[in-house]
Structure 1
Amino acid sequence: MMRVLVVDDDRLARTGLITLLPWSQFGLKVIGEASNGEKALEFLQAHEVDLLITDLAMPVLSGIDLMRSVRELYPNMFIVVLSYHQDFELVQEALRLGAIDYIAKIQLEKVKLEEVLERITKRIAFELKQRITPSTSAAGSEQSAVELPMEQEEQDKLTNVLLHIEWLKEDAAYRKLLEALKPSRVKLEPLLEARAKLQEKLKPIQTNSANGSASISTLDQLLLEMASLREWFQGEQRLGQYSIEMIEAILKAAHYIREHLGEDLHLDEVAREVGVSRSYFSECFKDITTTSFQSYLRDVRMSYALKLLEETTLPIYAVSQKSGYPNEKYFSKVFRTLFHLLPSEYRAKGIKSSDFDKKALQS
């Protein structure tokens, strides 16, 4: 059971939350409650807590100040915030401090309560899978002074770390990764495969397509590219405003869109898939990718349609369906609006998307 602490200065709201939500159904147990941030910190000193659920606007010590203290004292604790819609700026600050989600109080009566906890536990499971784990499990065991080549399991863990974006943002994670990347121990080929996957993963948030495009054949070259990529990531102010978990969720959403292009995708569905509440998914998606969800979905659909028109002889109706437009007439209308050509005309002219003016997709 994950241990939960609920913090809210409104006693009725606090009691209602504790009483009504089906905690045990999702492996959660409320072990305490507090009426403000100061009392919450006192409780945390005496009890082990895995998940903190806190209101933001509270007397004595606000939820934001409580979060700052918890981040410093208990960095691995998961945090969910309680809020009213008018607390939007506070919730944004909470997300930047690492909150994995929020519960809108005025929506609790409108949604199935189990959906709230399902979303939260899904986000927790996602983060746990992404965290760096120690390469050894036996406490107190000593490693030989001679550095032998990595075992396959250890190499796999290392490549998984490279795929996660924590090292791009956190100094400690970057140092730990560099310490593990020693020529005498690692195999380069799996790292290069991971590097290629990372490039693909980061595309939705990269405005400069030249990032990470150089040919790599040595570990030193890979290390130089990693340093360059990290410099780019940290120079993007919009990315620095959000937690690693939120950026990962948006990247996962972008990947989900690309993998399900032929389906009737909606914002609600994708937000639910990555475990983020609808309203904040929309806001964070636009901030992190620099484009709205609907514009991104349209761009990806149209880019895929261009590829199909160039590389296949599929009829237009099939291109339309595979790109996520079951209505061929609507597909042609959108295509013509963007490119000033019908799909059939585009194919007949033999235009290549690599030479085509894709600025239309940004309009």
Structure 2
Amino acid sequence: MKRMGKDGMIRVYIVEDEKLVRRGIIGLIDWAKYGMEVVGDAGSGEEAIGFLRRESVDLLFSDMEMPGLSGIEYLKKAKETAPDIQIIVLTMHQEFELIQQALRVGVLDYITKAQIEEDNPDILMERVRKCYLEAVHKTALADRRLESDTAFVWKVGEPGGAKAAKDFLLRHGMSCEELDEGHFLLRIEGKEIPDWEGVAKESGQEEAVVVQLSQVRGLRYQELAECLNTAIAARLFRDYMPGRFLYVYVYPELKKEQGLGKEGAQSDFWMNIEFMTDDAEFREGMRQICSSVSSNEERTILFYRLNLYWAEFSGKDITQFFQEVEGFKWWYQWKEWCEGLRDMVLERVGSGGTEERVRNVQEIHRAMNYIREHMDKEISLRELLQFTGMSKSHFSKNFKQITGKTFISYLNDIRIEAAKKYLVETRQPVSWIVEQVGFGDEHYFRKVFKRDTGLSPRAFRENKSNRI
């Protein structure tokens, strides 16, 4: 692999067929500020290839559309001539198809010429420098292999804490090598293993951990880095617990797990009452979530839907959900949150029970959600009886037992709560709100609202507005 210049500068070559544009690009950027020097420039693809055959270049800034040799053919030729070169494509417009083809050839990045002139050059060039150094580092890792059977990797605990972690390790005489921004390969001399708990606590990074990975002799550094960010990251998500600092894994076993693929979770399984009332069903549902949902965003959305669906029984304020789960990174946090939700639901529903009791609760809960979703329309008891398949007396008895209210009282309460939100959050007239929440009769709405709140709709709105 070619190295940077003797003074550590990144050697840059500019290719652009319009000379004034080329001169402008060279003159607009303070190259030395980013550890770069322009070693030459050209107005055609042929001239650029000739220079690459004679001289060493680290980073090529190049247009793709020029007379003669140009486009994807030119980029391929440049990579063949100088395999270690990194290429930044200069484009006039963000042409999606052309850029996609260029990325497949192996270019580092692309920028528009307008960005150089109009955007903050510091942000632009810092991005270019970071991408270049990461690519060089990745290439260097690909050429090296682990020489021992066991690898110890320090996983940084705090976002952006890589530099602080490295400084700490070096200060304490622990030889290390950065694999990527979040992982350091540690060289453990001799047979003495450090007190990892003490090291992690002293570092000030509460969630820093050490991964001990065995059977890795001959593994490429790049493969180790990829494993840390995929298979090991997934295992750590499931295994991590506060106060535990060392996690031991076997590389072939992780590879085998990864090859099995993810198991798909059954759609909306948590909408069944058995998920809350039966211990085995709950454990199986949680196992499915843990093993099948890949990103934290997907997990957050799934638990939000679960929280919303069971809010009637849990009594939780659904508007506080995102504050509750803010900062969740590990499975134990999600598991504890869901167990707490389940406890709240079981206080209302009760655990276990006969098959008939479970079925009744399930049907009443379906009816409650149906009412909430259709409160803006006229809902009759007959409609709910058809929806649940229950007789009138059976439905009324179970509805009162579970909700503590009659069907009409429950429906009115749902509508009044929705009306309160409209009164506070909009300036729409009462007549409009009455229609939105499904009351139909404004006089009846005002009567029920005054009875439940002690205020007229207008007074309620004014009272809440004065508090904001």
TM-score, normalised to structure 1's length? Answer: 0.50
Q: Which has the higher contact order (CA 8 A, sep 6+)?
A: 1
